[in-house]
Chains A and B, each alone.
Chain A
Amino acid sequence: MGSLSSSLSIAVQSLNAATGGLQVTNNNIANANTPGYSRQVAILQEAAPTNDGNLSVGNGVVLEGFQSVRDELVQTQIQQETQSQSGANAQLASLQQIQPTFTTSTQDIGTQMSALFSSISSLSTTPGSSSARQGVLTAGQNLVTAFNTASNSLTAQQAGLNSQVTQDVSQINQLTKQIAALNPQIAGLKASGQDGGTLQDQQNQLVLSLSALTSVSVIKTDDGDTLTTGNGTPLVVGSKPFTLQTATASDGMTHVLDQNGTDVTATLTGGDLGGTIQMRDQTIPGLLGQLDTLANQFGNAFNSVQKGGYDQNGALGQSFFTLPPAPPATVPPAVDPYPGAAANIGMFISDPASIAASSDSSAGGNGNLANFSAVQTAPLKSGQTPIDAYSSLVYQVGSLASNANAESKATTSSLLQLNDQLNSVSGVSIDQESTNLITYQTAYEAAARVVSTIQSLFTITMSMGTAAAE
């Protein structure tokens, strides 16, 4: 049989449970806007019943503890999507700075190339005119400047990306240190059967920040999260962080080394670091290679025409452009077979009379100018005409930037959806917490009413008979 005191203890448990509920609601409301916070719920359970003969009487409620609500799968997807987004953003930012160089303007290579051909065509109408000859030299110089500028803008971008690598690696090391430090604490809580709670939220948030820098695989172990890069280079095992190092390699670029000093640069993908390395080591050298090839082949085509004609003094033509010597060809072909060609192309001749306009050594001849003009329509060694070669370079820059932009947009929108999904599980709803507040408030008021009722019953019981006796 139940007693008043057992009822009172049930009421006390109710008050406890309601207080616990209020506390967790309070905490949820407080952290509604904290990044990475997973809402918590109070775990309430019925207390074991008391059996008295045939009667089984409930013994109230027990507050078992607090539990964070999580969805590990969505969390992992968000990490992966963040890697893609940061990688795309890193490439996009860099490509957006490269793009203006290859955008049609008054100074881009295509315009200057056309201007050079126009100046030559113009000279053909007055082959002896020194102002028309000067016009060709000026146009040649402008084209040289356009090549130099384009090459400089690519190498400057590459240098900027190179210093970004060092910054990214130092951030990665800081994050892995913090993540490793949290591992034993979370493992301790879990070993004692508790939820990782706040610490787990913090760690997830740190892993997410790490994902923004490079691709990370997470393996859950009893010692906490083990982290490796996408390619398996360890970053965190238990409480031990594995720091990455940087070193300047023979190519003048900063390379990333693992704990053992092995170069892992090429294996790093995803995240800001992956995107930066992709731009620095693949995309920009590829573009630079094409630019150098164009500068070299165009320059050589012009030089050989110039050497086949006669200048205004009737002497055989010299080179038109200066070009750095090409290194011997390699198998397979190098990404940039003519390194430094666009950066170092210059004007060889400076005297207007040196333009080899004549094909028969007569001073006013213009026969060789037609050969200069033919460079415009004849395929270079690469198989493309100069303007086609440049236009495909423009296409590539545009399509790289446009792809990076599309990927950035796609990942942003898919991250939004994934976050919505995660929030639908782990997010704090103010409305929901408000109703919970009412629920627990009501529960508390009711339990308190039970206590006061029992108290009055106790009073009645205590004064039983006394009043009647008097």
Chain B
Amino acid sequence: MRVTNMVPDAQYAMQQSQQALSAALQQVSTGLRVNQPSDDPAASANLVVSLAASANVDQYTSNVSSVLPQMQTADSAISSIVTSLNSAITSGTEGANGTESTTNRQSIATQVQGLLSNVIAQANTSFQGVYLFGGSASSAPPFVPASSTYTSTQASVIPPLSATQLTAGTVTTVSDASTGKSYSVTVLPGQNITVGDLVNDINAASPAVLSAGTTAKINATGQLEIDTNSSAAGIAVTSNDPVLGTMNATPGTEVANAYAYVGTGNANTVQVGDSMKVATGVAGDQLLTSGANVISSLNGLITALQSGTAAQISTATTAVSTALNYVSQQRVSLDSTIGQLNSQESYLGQETVTLTTQQTALVGVSLATAATNLSQAELNNSAVLAASAKVLPQTLLDYLK
């Protein structure tokens, strides 16, 4: 082929080797092989997915760190409850001794009352604003002193409040301290439920769920009133329906040593792995009321100590022992969750390393490779420049005199 001018070829070669040099320099300075999607579209797309997985793992790790102290706090609260129950059993055994005087039994009853208060205080433990034994109702103390009568804030005589429709999405709950159960009415969107219907529903729930004698009605002042009609049975009523307004205990109707559970039966769960969720606490009803009823067993012991026979005190003490066993069982599952969280934490640590390694493999470049590439590109570039410098000035004119 007839060659006329080598300048374009030399310029192209210089351009190519300079581009390679610049790419090699960028690799060394950023430590990345892929700096923009076009450098390696498939790796860039995979990086997006891998980074999302990393973000999840980071978040799971952070969730474990947040949940662990919650669980540990819950564990120590249960441990304190166990201690209180043991003390109650000791007190009960002491009280059951036929030689104890009535005065002594009264003072023992007072001690047990203190222990009950401690159990309630522990059950109302919160960690950074999260009530650990409230189930999903984690933003308020789950155990409240029970009263025999509750009334609504809102009232209407004409038209009667009973004709007013409840608001969709709202929940009204009656929690019974004696039965340890609660009765809820949730208004689903599209449902037409009036306050009157609510009254009928609550009345129908007694005595299956609520203590016998519990009735709901619209009272003379037009308020919704729920009453246990007993000085021994206490309830707590909550509602988030603006039609009723806040449900308030009528002053003076508090029932001694009775506490109602206003939390929910489902504990909150937190995701700590792609397919691992843990409950962040124990629902208080499960722990203290629904199984062997801890609160009523203590309440029973107090009553027995105050006015019962030695045999009754002994029976009540046995009930406390049963409750103690039950609480201890609950603690086992909590402890096993704490163990799971600890092992999950180290698994997540490994996972982070795996993902980081994957990301480096996708878009990174090892320093050694980058440095080698750079020196190769440098070498190549100087070769091209040297060759061009040698070849380009060569013309016949140099040799013509």
Please determine whether B138 and A365 come into contact, CB atoms closer than 8 angstroms: yes
A258-292 to B contact mask, C-beta < 8 Å, 1/0: 00000000000000000000000000000000000
Q: How far is the CA of A390 from the CA of B51 in the complex (A)?
A: 12
B122-153 to A contact mask, C-beta < 8 Å, 1/0: 00000011110011111110000000000000
Chain B 65-105 interface residues, beta-carbon cutoff 8 Å to A: 66-67, 70
| Stretch with Cβ within 8 A of B (4 or more), from A216-224, A227-235, A425-433 | A425-433
Partner of B280 from the list A125, A377, A430 (CB cut-off 8 Å) is A125
Q: Does A205 contact B (CB under 8 A)?
A: no
Please determine whether B8 and A420 come into contact, CB atoms closer than 8 angstroms: yes
Please determine whether B395 and A430 come into contact, CB atoms closer than 8 angstroms: yes
Q: Does B208 contact A (CB under 8 A)?
A: no
- Using known A-B contacts A402-B41, A424-B1, determine if residue A394 contacts B48 with beta carbons closer than 8 Å: yes
In the bound complex, residues from chain B placing their C-beta under 8 Å from that of A402 are 37-41
Q: A-B pairs with CB below 8 Å: how many?
A: 222
Q: Does B336 contact A (CB under 8 A)?
A: no
Please determine whether A114 and B55 come into contact, CB atoms closer than 8 angstroms: yes
- Using A429-B3, A429-B5 as known contacts, list a sample of 11 further A-B pairs with CB atoms less than 8 Å apart, ordered by residue number in A: A96-B38, A111-B51, A128-B138, A360-B136, A366-B268, A367-B266, A377-B274, A392-B45, A399-B37, A424-B4, A438-B400
Chain A 288-318 interface residues, beta-carbon cutoff 8 Å to B: 310, 312-316
Chain A 97-141 interface residues, beta-carbon cutoff 8 Å to B: 99-100, 102-104, 110-111, 113-115, 117-118, 121-122, 124-129
Return B123 CB to nearest CB of chain A, in Å: 15
Chain A 415-439 interface residues, beta-carbon cutoff 8 Å to B: 416, 419-421, 423-425, 427-432, 434-435, 438
B161-205 to A contact mask, C-beta < 8 Å, 1/0: 000000011110000000000000010010000000000000000
Residue of B nearest to A363 (CB): B139
Majority secondary structure of chain B interface residues (helix, strand, loop or mixed) = mixed
Please determine whether B9 and A362 come into contact, CB atoms closer than 8 angstroms: no
Q: Does B271 contact A (CB under 8 A)?
A: yes
Please determine whether B170 and A419 come into contact, CB atoms closer than 8 angstroms: no
25 residue pairs from A and B, CB less than 8 Å apart: A103-B44, A104-B44, A117-B55, A118-B58, A121-B271, A126-B128, A312-B139, A314-B169, A314-B240, A360-B171, A362-B137, A363-B139, A365-B268, A366-B268, A387-B48, A397-B38, A397-B41, A398-B40, A400-B38, A402-B41, A420-B8, A423-B5, A425-B2, A431-B396, A432-B4
Q: Does B318 contact A (CB under 8 A)?
A: no
Q: Does B30 contact A (CB under 8 A)?
A: no
Q: How far is the CA of A285 from the CA of B62 in the complex (A)?
A: 40
Return A32 CB to nearest CB of chain B, in Å: 8
Please determine whether B277 and A370 come into contact, CB atoms closer than 8 angstroms: yes
Q: How far is the CA of A117 from the CA of B271 in the complex (A)?
A: 12
Please determine whether B170 and A405 come into contact, CB atoms closer than 8 angstroms: no
Size of the A side of the interface (Cβ < 8 Å), in residues, is: 76
Q: How far is the CA of A366 from the CA of B267 in the complex (A)?
A: 9
Q: Does B47 contact A (CB under 8 A)?
A: yes
Return B78 CB to nearest CB of chain A, in Å: 19
In the bound complex, residues from chain A placing their C-beta under 8 Å from that of B62 are 122
Q: Does A361 contact B (CB under 8 A)?
A: yes
Chain A 343-372 interface residues, beta-carbon cutoff 8 Å to B: 358-367, 370
Q: How far is the CA of A102 from the CA of B45 in the complex (A)?
A: 10
Partner of A104 from the list B51, B56, B138, B400 (CB cut-off 8 Å) is B51
Q: Does B397 contact A (CB under 8 A)?
A: yes
In the bound complex, residues from chain A placing their C-beta under 8 Å from that of B56 are 114, 117-118, 121, 376
A44-60 to B contact mask, C-beta < 8 Å, 1/0: 00000000000000000
Partner of A110 from the list B51, B66, B264 (CB cut-off 8 Å) is B51
In the bound complex, residues from chain A placing their C-beta under 8 Å from that of B38 are 95-96, 99, 397-402, 405
Partner of A365 from the list B12, B136, B189 (CB cut-off 8 Å) is B136
Q: Does B355 contact A (CB under 8 A)?
A: no
Q: Does A9 contact B (CB under 8 A)?
A: no
Please determine whether A363 and B140 come into contact, CB atoms closer than 8 angstroms: yes
Q: How far is the CA of A400 from the CA of B45 in the complex (A)?
A: 13
In the bound complex, residues from chain A placing their C-beta under 8 Å from that of B171 are 314, 360-362
In the bound complex, residues from chain A placing their C-beta under 8 Å from that of B266 are 360, 365, 367
- Using known A-B contacts A398-B36, A430-B397, determine if residue A424 contacts B3 with beta carbons closer than 8 Å: yes
Q: Does B231 contact A (CB under 8 A)?
A: no
Please determine whether A129 and B12 come into contact, CB atoms closer than 8 angstroms: no
Q: How far is the CA of A401 from the CA of B136 in the complex (A)?
A: 50
Return B369 CB to nearest CB of chain A, in Å: 21
In the bound complex, residues from chain B placing their C-beta under 8 Å from that of A122 are 59, 62-63, 66
Chain B 108-129 interface residues, beta-carbon cutoff 8 Å to A: 128-129
Chain A 74-104 interface residues, beta-carbon cutoff 8 Å to B: 95-96, 99-100, 102-104
Please determine whether A370 and B269 come into contact, CB atoms closer than 8 angstroms: yes
Please determine whether B44 and A395 come into contact, CB atoms closer than 8 angstroms: yes
Q: Does A452 contact B (CB under 8 A)?
A: no
Q: How far is the CA of A312 from the CA of B167 in the complex (A)?
A: 16
B297-331 to A contact mask, C-beta < 8 Å, 1/0: 00000000000000000000000000000000000
- Using known A-B contacts A117-B59, A128-B139, determine if residue A394 contacts B37 with beta carbons closer than 8 Å: yes
Partner of A370 from the list B48, B59, B240, B271 (CB cut-off 8 Å) is B271
Please determine whether B41 and A398 come into contact, CB atoms closer than 8 angstroms: yes
Q: How far is the CA of A103 from the CA of B271 in the complex (A)?
A: 29
**Residue from B12, B40, B129, B139 with most neighbouring chain A CB atoms (10 Å):** B139
Please determine whether A361 and B186 come into contact, CB atoms closer than 8 angstroms: yes
Please determine whether A430 and B396 come into contact, CB atoms closer than 8 angstroms: yes
Please determine whether A427 and B136 come into contact, CB atoms closer than 8 angstroms: no
- Using known A-B contacts A128-B139, A359-B136, A425-B2, determine if residue A316 contacts B269 with beta carbons closer than 8 Å: no
Q: Does A413 contact B (CB under 8 A)?
A: yes
Q: Does B259 contact A (CB under 8 A)?
A: no
In the bound complex, residues from chain A placing their C-beta under 8 Å from that of B44 are 103-104, 394-395, 398
In the bound complex, residues from chain B placing their C-beta under 8 Å from that of A413 are 12
- Using known A-B contacts A361-B186, A366-B136, A398-B40, determine if residue A310 contacts B63 with beta carbons closer than 8 Å: no
Chain B 200-259 interface residues, beta-carbon cutoff 8 Å to A: 240
